[in-house]
Structure 1
Amino acid sequence: MELAGKHALVTGGGTGIGLAIARALAEAGVLVTITGRRQAVLDAVAAEVEGLFGLAMDVRDEADVIATFQRAVAARGPIQICIANAGIAEGRALHKTDLAFWRDIMATNLDGTFLTLREALRSMRRTDWGRVIAVSSVAGLRGLQGASCYTASKHGVVGLIRALSEDYLGRPYTFNALCPAYVDTEIVTRNTASISERAGVSAADAREMMTSANRHKRLIAPAEVAAAAMWLVSPGAESVNGQAIEIAGGMM
């Protein structure tokens, strides 16, 4: 399947994993709408990469998601590649968790994925081909210590993908989740400070804790996750559907 000229939408596309996937798609000739909360960040990236178009959007806001998808489709046609990547990663002991924290994690990671996939399908279903990828986490497949809310949200993402793959079985659309371990992005940088404070260790030790949690003892590069996404949208991956693909440096 020729990717050039197709329209992709990548949430959280201004930084980290989302940006790496958006760049890879644009290099393949795909027209890529990237979304995020900060228009200035999106504009700066779009100015550097041909084929990227930035639209500010908050995945937690249903009206905003609907309106932004409508603008994207009106400008560049139906969305045939959807990358639901926007998310937050924060840990907190459950007995110290208030409802506001729980709801913020769920609103971003799970509600945001639901709204993104729903709106993408509105136009994708009118076409003869589509690829949907949600960026979950290894925490979507097992428990992550100290991050019960995050773990629950990412399990929900994997469940949503698996259910959609069944709903559309035999049709020309696939639904898969990518489940990376710790990736060298701004999230790791932010979590370094959080872990350092909560655990009472140095920033270097906090970063090493995340690095050591990966089986191959290094942080994963965003480009490695992007490579997996590009495989899923490329010829030969048509029968890969309903999968939660670990990118974690080894068997877990």
Structure 2
Amino acid sequence: MDDMLSGKHALVTGGGTGIGLAIARAFADQGAQVTITGRRQSVLDEVAGDGLFGAAMDVRDETSVCDVIAAAVEARGPIQICVPNAGIAEGRSLHKTDMAFWRDMMATNLDGAFLTIRESLTSMRQTDWGRVIAVSSIAGLRGLPGAPTYAASKHGLIGLIRSLSEDYMGTPYTFNALCPGYVDTPIVDRNQEAIAARTGMSAEAARDVMVKANRHKRLLEVEEVAAAALWLVGPGSQSINGQSIQISGGQTV
């Protein structure tokens, strides 16, 4: 373990699995104390330790977010790295989208990020350094066929990050968004099943749809996204601000 982030407290929502866990582990390996959150305490308990501290939190619930973040600050000090990563990814045609589906997507992907950032800034602003790194998606930069609700939520997240970077311009706090393509996580597995069920494709063909959507024709590894997050908290990153960083194997927008 190195010590680039020694003395820093990081918060990663959706930190028990996938991209969030990879980012959390990368930070912990650099000496940070990392609060990881998710809706299921059992999942967090399985990966806690070695600098990771699990706390059940529902990003859709304002009281939950406020209480858990306040407790984390009390236990481990001000949050200086905030990674709103928790999200859901599900496609549904607009004519099949009811209000419940729309609201749940927005509550998780956009409202949850807003609440997480707002509460983290309360303590971050009392320090002399801070980084907010939202996990958006390539879908936040372009339309995604068959998933207008998801794409809208991720577009909104990028708008939030860009506006906050303007609000805090010239301060020691930066705001950026990571925009990965398809990453080899359980979300891809679930999408593979959904595509196959919806189209009648084989599971292999459904997975190939996502593989080919990345410009280099392979799924990303979670560690590739974590490496980008590490760059944004490392030395020399202070002028990277308000950016939507594509991680997709090539130019896509």
Alignment TM-score, normalising by the size of structure 1: 0.98
Instruction: Pick the aligned partner of 1:4 from 1, 6, 11.
Output: 6
1:143-154 alignment to 2 at 5 Å? 143-154=143-154
Match of 1:77 in 2: 77
Quote the Cα distance in structure 2 between the aligned partners of 1:60 and 1:34: 16
Match of 2:31 in 1: 29
1:103-142 alignment to 2 at 5 Å? 103-142=103-142
Match of 1:226 in 2: 226
> Match of 1:59, SS?
coil
> Match of 1:69, SS?
helix
**1:3 CA displacement:** 1.4
**Long gaps (5+) in structure 1:** none
**1:2 CA displacement:** 4.3
**Long gaps (5+) in structure 2:** none
Match of 2:244 in 1: 244
Quote the Cα distance in structure 1 between the aligned partners of 2:232 and 2:199: 38
Structure 1 counterpart of 2:173, one-letter code:
Y
**1:199 CA displacement:** 1.2
**1:8 CA displacement:** 0.2
Quote the Cα distance in structure 2 between the aligned partners of 1:222 and 1:237: 21
Runs of at least 4 residues off by over 3 Å: none
Match of 1:92 in 2: 92
Quote the Cα distance in structure 2 between the aligned partners of 1:58 and 1:193: 26
* 1:210 correspondence with 2:223: no
Structure 2 counterpart of 1:145, one-letter code:
P
The alignment yields a C-alpha RMSD, in angstroms, of 0.8
Q: Is the 8 A contact 2:4 2:30 kept in 1?
A: no
> Match of 1:139, SS?
helix
Match of 2:42 in 1: 40
Quote the Cα distance in structure 2 between the aligned partners of 1:16 and 1:3: 22
> Match of 2:103, SS?
helix
**1:5 CA displacement:** 1.7
Structure 1 counterpart of 2:18, one-letter code:
G
Structure 1 counterpart of 2:86, one-letter code:
A
Specify whether residues 2 and 23 from structure 1 end up closer, same or farther in structure 2 by C-alpha distance, changes over 3 A only: closer
Structure 2 counterpart of 1:246, one-letter code:
Q
Match of 2:162 in 1: 162
Q: What is the CA deviation profile of residues 175-219 of structure 1, one whole-angstrom value per residue up to 9, with x for unaligned ones?
A: 000000000001001111111111111111111110011110000
Q: What is the CA deviation profile of residues 142-186 of structure 1, one whole-angstrom value per residue up to 9, with x for unaligned ones?
A: 000100000000000000000000000000000000000000001
Instruction: Pick the aligned partner of 1:13 from 9, 12, 15.
Output: 15
Q: Is the 8 A contact 2:10 2:80 kept in 1?
A: yes
Quote the Cα distance in structure 2 between the aligned partners of 1:119 and 1:106: 18
Q: What is the CA deviation profile of residues 212-231 of structure 1, one whole-angstrom value per residue up to 9, with x for unaligned ones?
A: 11110000000000000000
Quote the Cα distance in structure 2 between the aligned partners of 1:188 and 1:228: 20
Q: What is the CA deviation profile of residues 69-104 of structure 1, one whole-angstrom value per residue up to 9, with x for unaligned ones?
A: 011000000000000100000000001110000001
Quote the Cα distance in structure 2 between the aligned partners of 1:233 and 1:171: 15
Q: Is the 8 A contact 2:80 2:127 kept in 1?
A: yes
